[in-house]
Structure 1
Amino acid sequence: MMFRRLLETLSVFQWVLTFLLMGVFCSLLTGYLLLTRFWPLAALYLAWLTIDRHTPERGGRRSQWVRNWTVWRYMRDYFPISMVKMADLDPKRNYVFGSHPHGIMCFGTFCNFCTEANGFSGMFPGITPHLATLSGLFRLPIFRDYLLSGGGCSVSRSSLGHILSERGAGNAVIIVVGGAAESMAGTPGDHSVLLKDRMGFIRLALSHGADLVPVYSFGENDVFEQLVFRSGSWMKSLQVTFQKWMGFAPCLFRGRGLLSARSWGLLPYAKPVMTVVGEPITVRQSTNPSEEEVSHYHAQYMEALVRLFNKYKGQYGLSETTQLTIY
């Protein structure tokens, strides 16, 4: 039992290090190799990278072998992370999943949609998930291939449009709607999502006739403690500047230590995360949607997300008085 718990802890630790350091490390390693006798190897990879540069914009390149790694099941069991399905999805349709909340590292979203730890393919047969993330991450050597292998793709409009219009039916693009701005506000016990002014994913669904699916990960904000800066402070201004120009926001957070749950460290707390995939909202295609159409489906989506939250909050262990705040 202790050995299994150790494996679970190490599996999560490797993902935390991958999330925080792999992109920078692989970039530095590639540059270093160019200055050594192994430079032909690095040069060949960079040449191939140039040829392959459009792949993140064209649906990505997943690997079922990577998605089925045993390490992801150990990672799932550390928290544990679970997935609940509210309805079947028709493989003859395409979908836009809105995932909430962002949290620090999107453990629920990553585990359920970029791996088969909870059996996404069996739960939703005929549906291929594509987790949309920052386009800049796909410029980082080696790390970009790691992201692609799990089903990652660029979050750009052209990338998502290609998946929903050029790759047939049975595709689901997963967008963490709140993005970096939401990640700066999440704290343990917080149930609020940045959604009121986020209309882009609605327009995307309308333009391609893709059904909307709300997704909520209960407990995502509980796995780390974050220092939230007050509005107007210089640290808050720095965060907002990074978010605006770099697409991500540096967060100061803490979890438990690697060897002791009582010490501070980079490991997330072992708190359960339950990802609920909601019922699809049927969307009629409109290649040039009006503001009224966008507002109509946006309102429907928010209502569906609140219903999902209220239906499953008790199952997660929240009180009946707990409400989802949309800002």
Structure 2
Amino acid sequence: MTKGKTQGKELLEVVSVLQWVLSFLFLGLGCAILMVYLMFTSLWPLSVLYFIWLVIDWETPERGGRRSTFTRNWKVWRHLRDFFPVKLVKTAELNPNKNYILGCHPHGIMSAGAFTCFSTESCGFAEMFPGLKSTLVILAGLFRLPIFREYIMSGGLCPVSKPSITHLLSQTGKGNAIVIVIGGAAESLASFPGVNTVVVKQRKGFVRMALEFGADLVPVYSFGENELFKQVIFSDGSLGRKLQDLFKKIVGFAPCLFVGERLAFIPYRTPITIVVGSPISVSKSITPTEDEIDHYHRLYMDELTKLFHEHKVSCGLSADHKLQII
């Protein structure tokens, strides 16, 4: 038993993290199967009514979603935070009269740190950055899954699509902190304990959006994210990697073969420290040139590297750990 924790508290933490992992992996598919199944039962009107609602409500996720303070404050998220535990670290002030795009790295298997810090209130983002509202943007396809879309919207999540980010940065005033896990599925395939690889060299869309709307860029590093699961890494060119790349191309994410500390799905109890870096001031340019995009992209990568090296030792890494940007 972890020092200072009762058996009951530890059990609550394990149950909380297990429900989150299982929801991440299976809830979306399960909701879709359930709605189709109900179509062939006496409860078919429920499915019909919901699908009518789905058509009417189709564009809501890209119009800011339907955030619920109640959902974001569930006690289960505090137990999820305490399991690892997850800690949010502030290194600079963020002016609530501006908008921001926060690039979070690395993706890891499930982005546990990003979810806990930016889609729940358990880590104190609102208190640490008064006047700012964090919105984690994720794979747009997940918002097409019935019922599941309502659940993730209630947590304040929105699609990582241009219409969605455009709405958030232009129609909802100031004080928006849009959080993008830049590396996405490609980065998840490089997730393994002891590895610090981020995929960002060819990812410039977030910089273009920042320029178009004059949103400052903020690098964020999630120390410990890659330590939560052990993944089977397929070498480039192998059949396993080709299948992963094909799946990623078709559906937008890559299936990872991984194992946790217990019951395969329970991650390792490794501390996660989300460090929010200093903002990079971005000048608004409605039609940015490639030179402008490249300039701010280089600044961003430099600041991300600086953030990593300044905080790696205090966040549990040795001084000789390197950050690989691909």
TM tier relative to shorter chain: over 0.9
CA distance in 1 between partners of 2:281 and 2:322 (Å): 26
User: Is residue 132 of structure 2 the alignment partner of residue 146 of structure 1?
Assistant: no
TM-fit CA distance, 1:317 = 2.1
CA distance in 2 between partners of 1:137 and 1:4 (Å): 32
User: Is residue 176 of structure 2 the alignment partner of residue 171 of structure 1?
Assistant: yes
Match of 2:199 among 181, 194, 199: 194
Residue 133 of structure 1 aligns to which amino acid in structure 2?
A: I
Query: Any conservation in 2 of the 1:11–1:75 contact (CA below 8 Å)?
Result: yes
User: Is residue 273 of structure 2 the alignment partner of residue 274 of structure 1?
Assistant: yes
- For structure 1, the residue ranges without an aligned partner over 5 or more in a row are 259-264
Question: Helix, strand or coil: the match of 2:135?
Answer: strand
Deviations 1:165-188 (A, max 9, x none): 111111111111001011011110
Aligned to 2:70: 65
Deviations 1:233-276 (A, max 9, x none): 11111111111121000110000224xxxxxx111111110000
TM-fit CA distance, 1:123 = 1.1
TM-score by length of 2: 0.97
Residue 117 of structure 2 aligns to which amino acid in structure 1?
A: N
Aligned to 2:239: 234
User: Is residue 110 of structure 2 the alignment partner of residue 105 of structure 1?
Assistant: yes
Identity %: 54
CA distance in 2 between partners of 1:192 and 1:208 (Å): 29
TM-score by length of 1: 0.97
- For structure 2, the residue ranges without an aligned partner over 5 or more in a row are 1-5
Aligned to 2:299: 300
Moved over 3 A (4+): none
Match of 2:57 among 29, 43, 52: 52
CA distance in 1 between partners of 2:131 and 2:44 (Å): 43
Aligned to 1:123: 128
Residue 287 of structure 2 aligns to which amino acid in structure 1?
A: N
Residue 265 of structure 2 aligns to which amino acid in structure 1?
A: L
User: Is residue 119 of structure 2 the alignment partner of residue 114 of structure 1?
Assistant: yes
| Aligned Cα root-mean-square deviation (Å) | 0.9
Match of 2:220 among 215, 224, 241: 215
TM-fit CA distance, 1:61 = 1.0
User: Is residue 31 of structure 2 the alignment partner of residue 26 of structure 1?
Assistant: yes
Question: Helix, strand or coil: the match of 2:260?
Answer: strand
Match of 2:165 among 160, 175, 180: 160
CA distance in 1 between partners of 2:7 and 2:220 (Å): 34
Question: Helix, strand or coil: the match of 1:172?
Answer: strand
CA distance in 1 between partners of 2:190 and 2:313 (Å): 24
Match of 2:79 among 74, 95, 117: 74
CA distance in 1 between partners of 2:38 and 2:288 (Å): 50
Deviations 1:93-127 (A, max 9, x none): 11101010000000000000000111111111111
